[in-house]
Structure 1
Amino acid sequence: MVVDAEFILPEDRRWRDFLTTASHDCYHLPEYVRFAAKHEGGSPGAYYVENNGMALLVPVLRQALPKDLGGTGMACDFISPYGYPGPIFSGGTDAPNARELFAGFLDIARSQGAVAIFLRIHPLLQDFLSTMADFGELVMHGRTVFGEMSGGRDDIWSGLSGNHWRNIKKLQKSGFVSVHNDFAWWEGFIGVYLETMRRVGATRQYFFSRDYFDDLRQALGNRLHLWSVHSPQGALAAASIFIETDGIVQFHLGGTAAEFSSFAPAKLLMYDVGNWANAQNARFFHLGGGVGGREDSLFSYKSGFFKNYSNFYTLRIIADEPKYRQLTTIWKNNTLDSHCDLHFFPIYRQELS
């Protein structure tokens, strides 16, 4: 097997050139991975692998091993940034070459000190999933909801629930309106998002810093879209951000002002974004899933817009079995909390309160 594999940095021209040959989403962009490194920790990069004119890109954060576990030297973990930045293959890649490309990625990752590799697979970009699964443990976390944007409005909204449609018509009749990319409401969006997270009792991981929002906006530029819904009196009722990349419109974060929650203004927002995505000739409008992958009230709400579903997987690879066992033993000996999640991976990176 002759494979050319290398860990490349966000500024490497090959990264952006590769994206012109492969279906991808915002999470695969070098600027997104650089942003994620700042807020999640680690060094941003991607494994770029070529073979027989075909290629593979695996965006990752290189994270040093925790010092309290004796982390020294080149040993490290490679972790997908938050979102869905799983491995993607260039167009025209076939199954035999996909296997060689992925094997080449693992070979170089091991040579560069990899202990554990944790990859978040994109629900809509799952080429050669079974091939990659042969190299590790593929874990299904739940379903996500998406709309297919080709066709007319009757086609894209064929799965819209009666309840959602009644709410939308009532909001329109009452004088609520949606606004696209008026960034005078950026501060308001951040406020209603954080207010919503407090109201629903979200875990701390969803309480992003102010820098997170501003850095994301700066990193993604005009790919990031702010949509807001306003009452007949002009008050901010709801706001969300969406990211448009290579034909995929991705819902990222959103919230509703408490005083308007009974009106469900976000339903009008999502409806108008879907129509805009259709007019932009997008391929998909991806809403994501429920909290933690569960089919909960959030999942049910999203399913009220579309009835198209895809599975969200992670791929877990132990690249250095002896080192992984050693780190796990040290972590368990240091951990007094018996209520740890034994399914967390890598287990020794689990933060216990």
Structure 2
Amino acid sequence: MIETFTDKKGWNQVIESIGKFDFYHTYEYHRLLAKNNDIPALIKYTEGDTLIALPLIFRKISGTDYYDATSVYGYAGPIEKRGSYFEQSAFKNELHQFLFKHKVISVFSRLHPYIDGQSHTLKDLGEICFHNLVVNIDLTQTLDEQRSRFNKRLKTYINKARRECGVIEATTTQHIREFAAMYNENMLRVGAEKTYFFDEQYFIDLLKKGKFNTQLLLVVHNETEEIISGAIFVKTQNVVQYHLSGSKTDYLHLNPLKLLIDEMRIIATQQGYTYFNLGGGKSGSEDSLFYFKSSFSKDFRPFYLWKYVVNKEVYEQLSNKSFDSTLKTNVFKTCDYFPAYRSMARTL
């Protein structure tokens, strides 16, 4: 049986009854990311004592009566409490019929590298493909064991940054505003797509409303007393997520982000967390961003994407090209932009 939840109470009761989830699965985070006429919804599937929950944001496809669904920025995908009986084909058929009935053309979701079983749950529903590796710092190791795995040059950078800078936790709205400006400065510098830019209110809501266990750490330059860098970390259950960060261009030579990650590594270890997810590189490649993160640890985890064409005929029409039949299989491979029609016409 399939039910949907668009209200805070019902949504969060479902994910809490499952027990294993991240803040990316919560109602609050979906509402924070939803734009204009987007509809955040949690799809709940029950079969006996098995429960599966799939959070998505449904978007109207401009100029049509159709929708598509996508995941939030971050790591989401299905979560489940598997009981004594589960029939994959029944779940597959019910989910397909539900999506088709509600005129959903395609579904895209980023899966969670630290939640097991998601690929199995989505088996034979479209395509699951490898996107990149993400970097984990194993917080169950001692601080000295963790540091022993650092790149030698990284240790030098962190030691220098600690001599010239200090780290504080953001406590005021002004701190958040300064961080928002640094973050968006970073996005401009690297030529990021507009989807990676957030307005000031996003950061205020994320940090000030008590919905999430978040910390914004800031680096202060000792000599100038200027805030030169910041990073937001979000803690859920046993996972710490390195969420967003930014630094002032004039101070990049001091490597303040390396200092921030090291500081959170120490804090989170002392607080008893298990995983510290630094994420991966840009656009699925092992680029300079991945190299930066992997200097902390070589504990890599695969990060997968799920894409599913629900209505192939309409998908073809919207994409203005023939449908690739390989999407029908559960093949792990490099992903092209999906859905194709949003790649060609981002205003859809």
Is the Cα contact below 8 Å between 1:35 and 1:219 reproduced in 2? no
Q: Deviations over 1:264-306 (max 9, x none)?
A: 1111111010111112211211111111121111100000111
TM-score by structure 1 length?
0.86
- Over 3 Å counting, the alpha-carbon distance change for 1:93 and 1:165 in structure 2 is farther
Pair 200,318 (structure 1): closer, same or farther in 2 beyond 3 Å: closer
Specify the alignment match of 1:297 in structure 2.
288
Post-superposition offset of 1:344: 2.1
Task: Decide whether aligned partners of structure 1 residues 298 and 128 sit closer, same or farther in structure 2, where only a CA change above 3 A counts.
Answer: closer
* TM-score where L is the length of structure 2: 0.87
The separation in 2 between residues aligned to 1:310 and 1:195, in whole angstroms, is 30
Instruction: Percent identity, please.
Output: 26
Q: How many residues align?
A: 333
Shift of 1:98: 5.7
Are 2:74 and 1:83 equivalent residues in the alignment?
Answer: yes
Partner SS state of residue 217, structure 2: strand
- Partner residue in 2 for 1:312: 303
Kindly indicate whether the alpha-carbon contact (under 8 Å) linking 1:56 and 1:102 is maintained by their aligned counterparts in 2.
no
Question: What residue number does 2:336 align with?
Answer: 343
Which letter does structure 2 place at the counterpart of 1:306? S
**Paired AA for residue 2 in structure 2:** A
SS at match of 1:50: strand
Secondary structure of residue in 2 paired with 1:157: helix
Q: 1:243 aligns with which of 234, 242, 247?
A: 234
Q: Deviations over 1:152-183 (max 9, x none)?
A: 212333421111111111222x2411112333
- 5 Å-filtered alignment, 1:316-327, equals 316-327=307-318
Is the CA contact (8 Å cut-off) linking 1:33 and 1:44 kept in structure 2? yes
Distance 1:324 1:303, change over 3 A: same
Structure 1: gaps spanning 5 or more residues: 333-341
Q: Which residue of 1 aligns with 2:60?
A: 64
Residue from 159, 172, 187 that aligns with 1:169: 159
Distance in 1 of aligned mates of 2:29 and 2:306: 21
1:49 aligns with 2:45: yes
Shift of 1:11: 2.1
For 1:257, the equivalent position in structure 2 comes to 248
Q: Partners of 2:302 and 2:83 in 1: how far apart?
A: 22
Question: Conserved in 2, the CA contact under 8 Å of 1:133 and 1:315?
Answer: no
CA shift for structure 1 position 93: 4.5
Give the whole-Å Cα distance in 1 for the aligned partners of 2:118 and 2:101: 24
**Aligned mates of 2:21, 2:6 — CA distance in 1:** 18
Q: CA RMSD in A?
A: 2.5
1:19 matched to 2:16: yes
Contact 1:7 1:47 in 2 (8 A): yes
Flag the 1:102–1:122 CA change in 2: closer, same or farther, 3 A.
farther
**SS of equivalent residue, structure 1 residue 84:** coil
Match of 2:193 among 200, 203, 210: 203
3-state secondary structure, aligned to 2:211: helix
Q: Distance in 2 between matches of 1:216 and 1:16?
A: 21
